[in-house]
Amino acid sequence: MGNPGDWILFIPGILAALTVHEYAHGWVAFRLGDPTAKLLGRLTLNPIPHLDPIGTILLFLVHFGWAKPVPVNPHNFENPRRGMVWVALAGPAANVLLAALGGAALQLAANNGWLMPFGILYRMLAFTIFINLMLAFFNLVPIPPLDGAKVVEGFLPVRYLPGWAAFERMGWLLLIGVILLGRLTGVSIFGVTILPISALLFNLFTGGAPVYF
């Protein structure tokens, strides 16, 4: 991003990405028979109920944060383990879908001269597309508490679940350690995997639109 003030322009994109992600988790859980998110007011596209105060503050201070996870009770599913896989995949899938729709909108607007390249609205829309892709693939990393870990858990043989539960309890420490190691060394595992994939899909969805954050 060009300067710290640019973050003000990108708040709508961040809120959209986090809200759609959490809403999708709750919506799929509800469709599979779990009304927990709906009963607690989390089955909504209003971003306020999904924001975690600490996660939101850190997002703007250190560019890493989180939303409040949507509560899910897998015991309400016909198949709890498989149901959790679908719930976990729903968040990243919704982000990719929103990015694809945003890319189509950006191409349509740019091709018809409705948005000027590098203008405020153009940059806001481009960032919304990109942050949705980054959030989707970041969450697919199989480190607890990310969605990718829940997908892995859903396919593990039952005999490995106790060990996985122990791994989950230290997942946050591992995740923070990996992020800090990347910051210290300048070589992040996320930077060499998630960023190229997100950039590739960004170019695909936007038709190679020029971008500046």
- DSSP labels for 13-82? HHHHHHHHHHHHHHHHHHHTT--HHHHTT-SSS-SGGGB-HHHHHHHHHHS---BPPPP--GGGSSSHHH
Average pLDDT value for the chain: 89
For 57-66, what is the mean pLDDT?
Answer: 73
Which among 101, 172, 178, 94 is positioned nearest to 136, based on CA atoms?
94
Q: Using one digit for the tens of pLDDT, what is the confidence trace for 67-123?
A: 899 999 999 999 999 999 999 999 999 999 999 999 999 998 888 877 777 788 888
pLDDT value for 36: 97
DSSP code, position 207: T
Q: Dihedral sign, CA of 105, 111, 112, 118?
A: positive
DSSP code, position 118: T
Residue among 22, 78, 153, 168 flagged as catalytic: 22
Q: Using one digit for the tens of pLDDT, what is the confidence trace for 117-147?
A: 778 888 899 999 999 999 999 999 999 999 9
pLDDT at 12 over 80: yes
What is the domain partition of the chain in residue ranges?
Answer: 6-206
pLDDT at 62 over 80: no
Annotation marks residue 22 as catalytic: yes
Q: Dihedral sign, CA of 101, 147, 185, 14?
A: positive
pLDDT value for 209: 74
